[in-house]
A and B are shown apart, each in its own frame.
Chain A
Amino acid sequence: MAAAFPVSAYGEAIARHKRFVDATKEWRKAEDPVRRKALDAERKALSGESHEQYLDGLRRNIARAMQAEFGFRERLTRFWADHFTVGRRAAILSDAISSYVDEAIRPNLAGDFATLLKAAVTHVAMLLYLQQASSAGPNSLYATKRPDRGLNENLAREVLELHTLGVEADYSQSDVRQLAELFTGMSFEPGEGFRFRRPFVEPGEETVLGRSYEGGLADIHAALDDLARHPATARHLARKLAVHFVDDTPDPALVDHVAAAYAASGGDLTATYAALLEHPSAWAPERRKVRQPFDFMAAALRALDASGSDLVALPRGKTHGQLLGPVALMGQSWERPGGPDGLPEEAAAWVTPQGMAARIQWAMRAPQALTGKLPDPRVFVETALGGTASADLTFAAGAAATRAEGIGLVLASPEFQRR
């Protein structure tokens, strides 16, 4: 389904970013008013193209989730994109986060976690978001010449705290510092993409969690491999998977079972998912999770049998008004997270007065605006809930004053919003 609704390559954004940077540089120096105006127009056009790419990421990812034959794959993509959250940093490139997800996350969902970890952590989008790209060892060749330049701990801290071990694991500030020194060299070159800058590399060995590394890209990969295999990582990921897919407060036995499968398989994700799905507590009948806003929209449009190709063709204004604005008001700003820890999981974080107001408002209006034709609410209540709608909901769908309100009531109901 991803192939049916392709997202442009990250490389396109890198090329656009370079043109933007060059135009800006020239614009700053240019004195001729005609040339300045032309350069300014070029910058605006590039920003506009870039923004269109950002909107396209949202439209196409919703279309994929709506039409996916294997919904689990789409849900895993969103789960890992959130685990390896990237948000706004550099203009233009921050509009290509969907491309990062397609390159670093999507192809690595079913292999071993180490491969996914390395792809995400060394991707330019991540290096820029967590400011690794400009970090240089305090004793590196570069910092010796430019004493004002040096280390930035941001990525190293989040790799340990969020991406691998988890904050409860036994690591120290020294491990953060050493990993940050080991990470030096991973950088970005405008127009090119990833570049390993030898002069940024901190000389000497680094010791992370008791293991020594020489430095350089091969050793960075080795350190990430070691972190992926760490028992704390198994527990951290098992818990996150159980919380996201099963229950805000999962059965400890489920977490143990998933962590054991991760450890026994050496971090194989397919084996890990299988453990999650085979455990009895994943099959409890209650719908314990509340759909996150993106999932809610996709599920609603899927239930409405909306067309993915129509959605992908949605113009800019409608994309803002019916998708981008509402999903943000529901609490999930598309590719603009509040921080690298990504989205909250607990139901109470989403089912707030303001969050519900945004969901209800969207449920009552967007189906008409996005599909143009509304089904009979008395039929929709059956199809949307697979024949399990409560008597109250069935009554309400039929009692609504308008078709739009009837559809809205079904979509806004707890029965539809939970899963």
Chain B
Amino acid sequence: MASDLSRRGFLGRSFALGCSAAASPLLTPVTLASAPWDNRLVVIILRGAMDGLDVVQPYGDPVLAELRQKLPVGEAAGAHDLDGFFALHPGLGDLMPLWRAGELGFAHAVSTPYRDKRSHFDGQDLLEAGTGFTPGQPISHVGWLNRLLQAVPGIEAETAFAIGRETMRVLEGPAPVSSWWPDVRFELTPQTRQLLEMVSAQDPLFRAAVGQAAEISETLDLEASGAEAEEGMEGMAPTMQAKPGKAHVKVAEFAADRLRRDTRIAAFSITGWDTHGNQKAALKGPLAQLSETILTLRAGLGPDWGRTAVVAMTEFGRTAHENGTAGTDHGTGGAMLLAGGALKGGRVWADWPGLGPGDLYQGRDLMPTADVRAYAAAAMQGVFGLDRDVLESAVFPGLDMGGVGGLIR
């Protein structure tokens, strides 16, 4: 075995103890302290570029039906009329009671400042960085929610939670935050925990992660979360291996549970929006996840739903024209979803640019007429009572919120 192991590090590095200097977002241990606010914010990153023109269909614009032959639109295709001009995709039909209660709204023809290369990965990085965009310049790895935390006194790691399997750059940075994936099961005896903390003590990144995992696991109801997941995985039928339709509900339940305690900001992802082909079928899954997520949050938050705003945003929209494979390619302007009992919703906020050939961005994409960050900022202004100049300088540097506001009750 010894000779096997000597080959293990092919680069021939010595086996000296590695002390990573990598900055950790998790250096502060979790403590149960009261948060600076009573209101809650949930940020959902819709990864893959959601087609805003299909999800919130401007069916009052006669050009839409011409652009979309394979992607039927409007009430005739089962969509729910919102305001006579926009209609909601049937996949979000279960949210219509929220719309009627003023707990659901949308911003349309919005985008980040990202332009032209239409890369998912840069697009998501910029959406989460919340900065301006200069082509060729590196995108900051500090997320706008982390900058928000830095701007407010009295923040504890428990104040903001990143949930699920995806890395949430929107929360990363110097301010302490927590993270967890409720599918993970974790049980340790106190003695093993102590030994584990000892062997991780010299490596700040590992020390922080192990410490936080142990803290969080002590607050979990194992019967309800991981135990069942592991059993499920063992005996799963082949088609069930991805556990479709379950993981996102667990994420939303976990978020609601934390938000009812000391957490005030929760962030997670819903993926699967990259619908290059057969979009009609491909959108079903992610829309069902989004719908169930919001309904799960509402049920789980109970009385706190009235103090909650949810914003769901994507890296960019998709081409106005459907493509040659009954889908859409990467575009620019898109739509954003807002929800929550704190929302003054029941409306679609949009300065509609039109869909005619001269109206489109570069002749192919919905022209953005507002910055998606302005709506996120307005939501935070409403729920957290933040000053506009903090939002426009510290949280979203360089943003001009313009006339966007009044989103929160």
Query: Which A positions have Cβ atoms within 8 angstroms of B?
Result: 47-48, 50-51, 69-72, 75, 130-131, 134-136, 138, 143, 148-154, 157, 161, 167-168, 172-173, 176, 245-246, 248, 277, 282-288, 299, 302-303, 305, 317, 320-321, 324-325, 329, 331, 333, 336, 338-339, 341, 344, 346-349, 351-358, 360-361, 364, 383-388, 390, 392-393, 395-396, 399-401, 405, 408-409, 412-415, 417-419
Contact = CB atoms under 8 A, between A and B. Distances in A.
B387 to A, nearest CB: 31
A400 B242 contact: no
B47 to A, nearest CB: 8
Nearest to B121: A341
Contact of B116 (A173, A351, A417): A173
10 contacts: A51-B239, A283-B13, A287-B18, A329-B181, A344-B167, A364-B192, A401-B189, A414-B20, A414-B200, A418-B18
Given A324-B241, A386-B8, A392-B202, A148 B209 contact: no
A346 B20 CA distance: 12
B377 to A, nearest CB: 27
A305 B255 CA distance: 41
A150 B184 CA distance: 43
B213 A357 contact: yes
Given A348-B205, A353-B26, A360-B210, A154 B329 contact: yes
Given A134-B277, A325-B233, A51 B195 contact: no
B201 interface: yes
A151 B324 contact: yes
Given A338-B166, A361-B185, A347 B20 contact: yes
A333 B8 CA distance: 24
Interface string B197-232: 011111101100110110011000000000000100
B352 to A, nearest CB: 24
Contacts of B183: 329
B178 interface: yes
B209 A351 contact: yes
B15 A351 contact: no
Contacts of B403: none
User: Among the interface residues B4, B324, B327, which one has the most CB atoms of the partner chain A within 10 A?
Assistant: B324
Interface of B: 1-2, 4-20, 22-26, 47-48, 69-70, 116-122, 136, 165-167, 172, 178-181, 183-189, 191-192, 195-196, 198-203, 205-206, 209-210, 212-213, 216-217, 230, 233-236, 238-239, 241-242, 271, 274, 276-277, 323-327, 329-330, 362
Contact of B17 (A151, A321, A390): A390
Nearest to A161: B119
Given A152-B327, A386-B6, A246 B11 contact: yes
A409 B195 contact: yes
B18 to A, nearest CB: 3
Nearest to B201: A392
A355 B18 CA distance: 19
Contacts of B165: 331, 338, 354
A168 B136 contact: yes
User: Among the interface residues A70, A143, A412, which one has the most CB atoms of the partner chain B within 10 A?
Assistant: A412
Nearest to A304: B1
> DSSP majority for the B interface?
loop
A50 B241 CA distance: 13
B8 A71 contact: yes
Nearest to B169: A349
A401 B24 CA distance: 31
B11 A283 contact: yes
Given A152-B277, A152-B324, A154-B276, A351 B189 contact: no
A48 B165 CA distance: 27
A33 B22 CA distance: 63
A327 B14 CA distance: 27
A287 B203 CA distance: 11
A213 B72 CA distance: 37
Contact of B25 (A50, A152, A348): A348
A349 B141 CA distance: 12
B18 A415 contact: yes
Contacts of B69: 148
User: Among the interface residues A246, A321, A329, A356, which one has the most CB atoms of the partner chain B within 10 A?
Assistant: A356
B152 to A, nearest CB: 23
A71 B7 contact: yes
Contacts of A324: 233, 241
Given A134-B325, A347-B22, A325 B274 contact: no
A270 to B, nearest CB: 15
Contacts of A409: 192, 195-196, 199
A213 to B, nearest CB: 20
A170 B271 CA distance: 29
A353 B17 contact: no
Contact of A415 (B17, B178, B238): B17
A356 B188 CA distance: 13
A329 B186 CA distance: 11
Contacts of B15: 287, 385-388, 415
B121 A167 contact: yes
Contacts of B216: 353
Contact of B184 (A245, A338, A357, A412): A357
A351 B205 contact: yes
A207 to B, nearest CB: 18
Contact of B16 (A70, A285, A417): A285
Contact of A167 (B16, B119, B178, B210): B119
B277 A47 contact: no
Given A339-B48, A348-B22, A357-B213, A161 B117 contact: yes
Given A287-B15, A396-B199, 10 more contacts: A150-B325, A153-B330, A167-B117, A176-B118, A329-B181, A347-B22, A351-B209, A353-B26, A353-B178, A354-B181
A272 to B, nearest CB: 15
A419 B241 contact: no
Contact of A277 (B11, B185, B271): B11
B184 A305 contact: no
Contacts of A283: 11-13
A354 B77 CA distance: 42
A329 B184 contact: yes
A148 B70 contact: yes
Contacts of B166: 338
Contact of B325 (A131, A246, A288, A413): A131
A402 to B, nearest CB: 9
A153 B21 CA distance: 41
Nearest to A47: B238
Contacts of A364: 192
Contact of B209 (A48, A136, A299, A352): A352
Given A153-B329, A357-B184, A361-B186, A321 B233 contact: yes
Contacts of A288: 18, 20
